[in-house]
Amino acid sequence: MSTETFEFQVEARQLLQLMIHSVYSNKDVFLRELVSNASDALDKLRLASLKDDAPDVDVSDPHIEIDVDRESRTLTVRDNGIGMSYDEVTRLIGTIANSGTAQFLRELRERDGAGADGLIGQFGVGFYSGFMVADEVTLLTRRAGEEHGTRWTSRGEGTYTLERVEEAPQGTSVTLHLKPEDSENQLHDYTSTWKIKEIVKRYSDFITWPVRLLPTAAPGEDGEAPEAETLNSMKALWARPRDEVSEDEYHELYKHISHDWRDPLETVRLQAEGTFEYQALLFIPSHAPHDLFTQGHQRGVQLYVKRVFIMDDCEELLPPHLRFVKGVVDAQDLSLNVSREILQQDRHIRMIQRRLTKKVVATVKDMAASAPDRYATFWREFGAVLKEGLVTDPDNRDALLAVCSFATTHDAERPATLKEYAERMKDGQEAVYYLTGESRQALENSPHMEAFTARGIEVLLLTDPVDEVWADAVGEYDGKPLRSVAKGELDLTEDGDGASDEEKDKRSEEYAGLLGWMTEHLGEDVKEVRLSSRLTVSPACVVSDANELTPALENMYRAMGQEIPHAKRILELNPEHQLVKALNRAHTGGGDRAELTDTAELLYSLAVLAEGGRPKDSARFVKLVADRLERTL
């Protein structure tokens, strides 16, 4: 039959060149697009056969074939799906970004409103991705139920030819006349069997239909050609009923997508139905990766659309505080860009993230209730990350707080939830007390803890950097404020075992002169010197004002490049300590002012050291200590 030559429209030519050279960042995806189109055609044939639209077609062995000819450097992707008529090729292939799937879906919904699942190809440009790797593309197609086929050929330079052919198999075949291998332009040897297997395994492993690689070897001595090799597993575990999938299969998938050799701690399944459908199969690992807190850590889950792989590490589907979660999300429809490589801003994305977040947090809550040992492992590995959500995710703050546990002074072996802490609070206790620092040992030995230890008041011992932030962000639990034992003034005499108001007034009057003198002398370093109700053993401690940042938090902000003004702190003295009593007697009795000055500076430096800080002038501090030791000896 005669061959006709046509020109692409000007806009189509420009878009074609842009797409070939700019749209796709990875040229390997041409095979993904062609396999996806073939899968689409097989889905359409299946739907047509179910509706008796094409009663005479062959649906006995729907499949996709990949055929490679190394000598002629061609690669063919072939399906026995619905195919296209001459008019459809003219209308669809000659016009970029009109694959026909959208129209097909509209017609199908208008007829009965069902059966439209599983169709890919909403952009219609995937077919043209072949020109990234080929000098010439030939399409041969015959629509199921028709007698004649159509051949379309183009070099992607502005024209294409159309020809009616007498004989053509049902379905569509796309033959690429491959460009030479070019590593600089990311053009691999796409006639290589291992490369084809790699691409199909990565992008099309879960396609519903078998993807077969035809043998390249010659027939053997018995005259029989080697059998075709099926390249994809077709095992989309998230699409199968739970009772049909074993734990071993789930674990195998986890290891495949996470590159982890250990089994996951927990498997999370979710299936959303309705106006927007998607399925998720998520895994909570059993250990934290070494780079979990580094800036370049790759987070996110794998994204599929209708079982076609779109991207690794899709960050938009889970918030940063769940970055340890691995898994797969398979959506029926998402707003991707033209190359299907980038997610557009879409309410569906936000909806998926909200739902997945709630599901993961609920799973952790169930784990804490039903499997305490597994929860303990989870919290040890990922608790510091999850607590970030207390600051960044106010919508889920209450749910996150319910699954958080914290080390406390009540039990050195077992952390406690805030609910458990609240149940153990003493009568009259008005606040949830906590202390932040580098280690449990340092916190237990902190002078700030002395009064709480003496009175048996439980304190949360918070040692993660994020603890400095979330406690202020949360503010309270069950109506009770969260209070740092190292900030503000504390009154622990509600139970009646402290000094009376009369005794406090007498003591304040007794030490007023010393406190005023020390406040003036240490004015460069402290904003106030006052008597303490925190201390029972140590002579002094430094505390922050109730509404000021702690030194650790100041350092954290400075490390992030934020200029934070240095806040002067408060020096508290223990009026029952012999050193403080002696210092007060010396000051009242007119003792040597130089000696008193050195003692005051030493007392302040010792308080700074006790909380894990360092003196402002280390050399002077060492000299003062050495002088005092020399005098003692």
Confidence at residue 279, expressed as pLDDT on a 0 to 100 scale: 93
Mean pLDDT of successive 10-residue stretches along the chain, which has 633 residues: 73 61 73 90 84 66 94 94 90 58 48 41 64 91 91 86 91 93 77 93 90 79 75 89 90 86 93 85 92 77 86 87 94 62 65 94 95 95 95 94 95 92 90 91 91 92 91 90 88 56 80 91 90 90 83 71 78 92 87 83 90 85 86 77
Domain endpoint, select from 492, 520, 544: 492
**Does some domain include residue 162?**
yes
Residue with tokens 């034992």: 485
According to DSSP, residue 208 is labeled: S
Confidence at residue 192, expressed as pLDDT on a 0 to 100 scale: 92
Burial of 53 (0-12, 13-18, 19+ CB in 10 A): middle
**Does some domain include residue 131?**
yes
**Does some domain include residue 387?**
no
Output the domain CATH number for residue 287: 3.30.230.80
Q: What is the b/e burial string over 318-353, where b = at least 16 CB atoms within 10 angstroms of the residue's CB?
A: bbebbbbbbbbbbbbebebebbbeebeeeebbeebb
- 59: Cβ contacts below 8 Å, ≥ 6 apart: 45, 46, 49
**Does some domain include residue 254?**
yes
Could you tell me where the beta strands, DSSP code E, fall in 252-343?
A: 266-272, 278-284, 301-305, 308-314, 326-331
Gap between the Cα atoms of 534 and 487, Å rounded: 11
160 alpha carbon, distance to own chain's centre: 46
Q: Are residues 130 and 200 in the same domain?
A: yes
Gap between the Cα atoms of 303 and 424, Å rounded: 45
Q: Are residues 180 and 272 in the same domain?
A: no
Confidence at residue 167, expressed as pLDDT on a 0 to 100 scale: 85
**Does some domain include residue 289?**
yes
Confidence at residue 462, expressed as pLDDT on a 0 to 100 scale: 93
H or E stretch covering 447? none
Q: Are residues 311 and 412 in the same domain?
A: no
Region of 436 please: left (phi>0), alpha (psi -120 to 50) or beta.
Answer: beta
Domain total in the chain:
4
Q: Are residues 11 and 158 in the same domain?
A: yes
111, two tokens:
């007829």
Confidence at residue 489, expressed as pLDDT on a 0 to 100 scale: 83
User: Residue 110's domain spans which residues?
Assistant: 3-220
**Does some domain include residue 282?**
yes
Output the domain CATH number for residue 409: 3.40.50.11260
H or E stretch covering 48? helix 29-50
Q: How far apart are the first and last CA of the chain?
A: 115
CA nearest neighbour of 270 among 311, 312, 330: 330
Q: Are residues 286 and 152 in the same domain?
A: no
Q: Are 479 and 462 in contact (CB under 8 A)?
A: no
**Does some domain include residue 13?**
yes
Confidence at residue 417, expressed as pLDDT on a 0 to 100 scale: 94
**Does some domain include residue 19?**
yes
Confidence at residue 110, expressed as pLDDT on a 0 to 100 scale: 55
Q: Are residues 280 and 365 in the same domain?
A: yes
Confidence at residue 259, expressed as pLDDT on a 0 to 100 scale: 81
What pTM does this model have? 0.76
Output the domain CATH number for residue 172: 3.30.565.10
Domain endpoint, select from 450, 473, 492: 492
Confidence at residue 633, expressed as pLDDT on a 0 to 100 scale: 74
Output the domain CATH number for residue 519: 1.20.120.790
CA nearest neighbour of 610 among 484, 448, 455: 448
Q: Are residues 519 and 547 in the same domain?
A: yes
Count of CB atoms situated within 10 Å of the CB of 362:
13
